[in-house]
Amino acid sequence: MLKIENLTATVGEGEDAKTILNGLSLAVPTGEVHAIMGPNGAGKSTLSYVLTGREGYAVTGGSATLNGADILALEPEARAAAGLFLSFQYPVEIPGVPVMTFVRTAMNAQRKARGETEISAPDFIKKSREIAKVLSLDPEMLKRPVNVGFSGGEKKRLEIYQMMMLEPRFMVLDETDSGLDIDALRTVAEGVNALRAPDRGMLVITHYQRLLDYIKPDKVHVLAKGRIVKTGGPELAHRLEAEGYDGVLAEAV
Amino acid sequence: MSTALKDLIRNPTIAELEIVARFAALKADARRERLFEAFAQTGLPGRRIEGWRWTDFKAAVTSLDVLKASPARDPLAREGVATLRFTPAGYTAPATLPSGLKLLAKDDVQAMGGAEEAPLGALAAALSGGKTPGTLLVDVSAGAPVHLHMVFEGPGAINAARIVFLLRPGAELHVSESHLGGAALSIALVEFTLNKGARLHRTVYQIGGASEAQAVTALIEQDAGAESVLTTLAFGAKVARLETRLVHRETGSKATINAAYLAGAGLQADITTHVRHGAPSCVTRQLTKGAVLDGGRGVFQGKFHVPRTSGQQTDASMQHNALLLEEGAEVFAKPELEILADDVQCAHGNTSGALDAAQLFYLRQRGIPLTQARAMLTEAFIAQALEGAGDLEDALRAEAQAWLNHAA
């Protein structure tokens, strides 16, 4: 279970530091999929970066635990080894590093950190081939440098490929739907749904309700001004779509 | 020693006096003297000399004692490839040479063009001789590609060597050089003349200790349709200069000049090139990549000279990108285009900076530890500069990888 309690965080340094998360509390039990929706500037991406430990964000109060362990004290790579995965809103290009090399290095680094043995090359290739097929990824693409020259849709599918390869315990999907056409969205959602499991949790961050037609959440939270202001079932996403954030937020205050 | 000799260098340092004494002990030869005079104009070049501001041999070479360093490993050594070995004690060549290759050891010194522009090349030419030939001539004839490996290593005070290659029309030479240091001062001069349609693949590996000085000077002249692919991996030394001076002297000549340097604490690597487009429609592609740690120094000086009449339809590009891996790393760069012709395509770019924070975070979020992530990104950054090394690319990459994993 991912448990966030009264989390406050700032971005920037010194006098320029700006509070983005302002007492955020949230619990996603293992096996559930929760969605976070919110207007621009609510703190959605900041939450994903604070959870995964990106530089430039400072936690000023509160806590976040994954399966009971404090994750905020860990280096980003240790959080990954503990099973936390972020599907980036803007996946990063890594010139000169082929996808397969990258993912295998990551997988073995995680396994080493957990005291497990490395995956053999044949096992890795077999697994990669199976997952590429599910996601309709061209195997040639996996030999090319990570994200270099990939379309927006290809980049997002590659995030899901990495997620399926690394089999994290908890996944944060940051605006995975942005930049996807309807076919790509369906493929990506199928990949995500295939990963739904009783021992795995998921937090889906999105601006629009559209993604939630394909990835059905157990709960929907509304994030505004750095806090969760409203929580409900999947119907809350439809209300937001129909009435807009202003309508729902006015009622919440 | 005659007074005239002693006075050749103004205010000589102790090391320079030793160099003069060594020169005086060699067999008198008018050409040798002219070369030494060319060197003596500057003495050991240092920060007061144009082009040596960041690579100060005068200050770095304080004495010429025999070093007791353990010899460096040669990653380019291969079974079945003819190997020439140059040490302060002399040179050795295999009993049988590949067909298409002739070796001629000349006692007397051959003339060298542009000696004044390359003082350490001139010094290598002036001091070679005695136990090594004054000039080692290598004649490569047309036919199947010829492979040759050359090793330059100590121990000793000064290791000076000069090799002159002549590639006959249509000849193809694949030469690799390992400059492993081991002497207080290692100076090598390697010259190549590429006749019409000749092809040269030259791969250079350089490594040296924190109390050694090394200079590798290459002079290359290319005739019509000749092509050279030059690849260098340099780890530097107390001072290390890898200088290439190339002239396109007939139409349609082409050169690819790539280099990567990796400089750790107390080490300096200098990549200096000068390319003259002395004939129309010649092509130069130059890429230099570097990565430097705290206390290390990288230097890149590149110059394209395109004369007004002979340089028309020149197609040339120069790129230098450096990574400063830690605070306290230093990189000095001076890219220069001197273009007098009006119908040319010339481009250059020069960057230096730290690793990209977004890329580092992306790797770490996937579970790759910081040190490994840095090494991966740095290796990817320099890799392109080593791609031209062909069969030797993997060996060079393995050395770079080992350095990065050790350094991080």
Taking contacts as CB-CB distances below 8 angstroms, the residues of chain A near B363 are 94, 102, 106
Given a cut of 50, whether residue B6 has pLDDT beyond it is yes
Residue A196's pLDDT band (cuts 50, 70, 90): very high
Give per-residue pLDDT as tens, B346-367.
999 999 999 999 999 999 999 9
Q: Is residue B400 part of a domain?
A: no
Does residue B261 contact residue B358 with C-beta atoms inside 8 Å? no
Residue B70's pLDDT band (cuts 50, 70, 90): confident
Residue B5's pLDDT band (cuts 50, 70, 90): low
B370 touches chain A (CB under 8 A): yes
Taking residues A133-153, what's their average pLDDT? 93
pTM score of the predicted model: 0.90
Return the CATH number at A209.
3.40.50.300
Taking contacts as CB-CB distances below 8 angstroms, the residues of chain B near A87 are none
Flag the least confident range among A5-9, A14-18, A83-87: A14-18
Q: Is residue B407 part of a domain?
A: no
Given a cut of 90, whether residue A16 has pLDDT beyond it is no
Report the complex ipTM: 0.96
The CA distance from B360 to the nearest CA of chain A, in Å, is: 9
Share of chain B above pLDDT 70, in %: 97
Given a cut of 80, whether residue B74 has pLDDT beyond it is yes
Give per-residue pLDDT as tens, B280-322.
999 999 999 999 999 999 999 999 999 999 999 999 999 999 9
Q: State residue B292's pLDDT score.
A: 97
Provide the pairing of β-strand A94-98 with A145-146. antiparallel
Q: Do A162 and B366 touch (CB under 8 A)?
A: yes
Q: Do A94 and B380 touch (CB under 8 A)?
A: yes
Given a cut of 50, whether residue A59 has pLDDT beyond it is yes
Flag the least confident range among A101-110, A127-136, B196-205: A127-136
Which residues lie across from B219 on neighbouring strands?
B191, B245
Give per-residue pLDDT as tens, B124-182.
999 987 777 778 999 999 999 999 999 999 899 999 999 999 999 999 999 999 999 99
Q: State residue A87's pLDDT score.
A: 96
Q: Do B369 and A162 touch (CB under 8 A)?
A: no
Containing domain of residue B270, as a range? 3-356
Q: Is residue B141 part of a domain?
A: yes
The per-residue pLDDT of chain A, averaged, comes to 93
Q: State residue B310's pLDDT score.
A: 94
Q: Is residue B101 part of a domain?
A: yes
Given a cut of 90, whether residue B109 has pLDDT beyond it is no
Measured between CB atoms, which of A54, A77, A95 is closest to B368?
A: A77
Give per-residue pLDDT as tens, A222-232.
999 999 999 99
Q: Which helix (H) or strand (E) holds A146?
A: strand A145-146
Flag the least confident range among A195-204, B79-88, B132-141, B270-279: B132-141
Given a cut of 50, whether residue B1 has pLDDT beyond it is no
Give per-residue pLDDT as tens, B237-251.
999 999 999 999 999
Q: State residue A131's pLDDT score.
A: 95
Does residue B289 contact residue B255 with C-beta atoms inside 8 Å? no
Under 8 Å CB pairs connecting chains A and B tally to 75
| More confident call, A63 vs A135 | A63
Q: Which residue has the tokens 């079974």?
A: B79
B354 touches chain A (CB under 8 A): no
Q: State residue A243's pLDDT score.
A: 87
Q: Do B359 and A109 touch (CB under 8 A)?
A: no
Taking contacts as CB-CB distances below 8 angstroms, the residues of chain B near A55 are 357, 361
Chain A residues in contact with chain B using a Cβ-Cβ cutoff of 8 Å: 52-55, 75-77, 79-81, 85-86, 88, 91-97, 102-103, 105-107, 109-110, 113, 145, 162, 166
By C-alpha distance, the chain B residue nearest A162 is B366
* Total of domains in chain A: 1
Peptide bond into A122 cis (omega under 30): no
Q: Do B369 and A55 touch (CB under 8 A)?
A: no
Q: Is residue B404 part of a domain?
A: no
The per-residue pLDDT of chain B, averaged, comes to 94
Containing domain of residue A99, as a range? 2-252
Given a cut of 60, whether residue B408 has pLDDT beyond it is no
The CA distance from A87 to the nearest CA of chain B, in Å, is: 10
Region of residue A49 (phi > 0: left; psi between -120 and 50: alpha; otherwise: beta): alpha
Q: State residue B264's pLDDT score.
A: 96
* Total of domains in chain B: 1
DSSP per position, A104-144? HHHHHHHHHHTTPPPPPHHHHHHHHHHHHHHTT--GGGGGS
B364 touches chain A (CB under 8 A): yes
Give per-residue pLDDT as tens, A117-140.
999 999 999 999 999 998 889 999
Q: Is residue B401 part of a domain?
A: no
Query: Mutating which of A50, A57, A92 best tests the B interface, going by the most B Cβ atoms within 10 A?
Result: A92
Q: Do A109 and B368 touch (CB under 8 A)?
A: yes
Phi, psi (rounded to 5 degrees) for B163: -130, 135
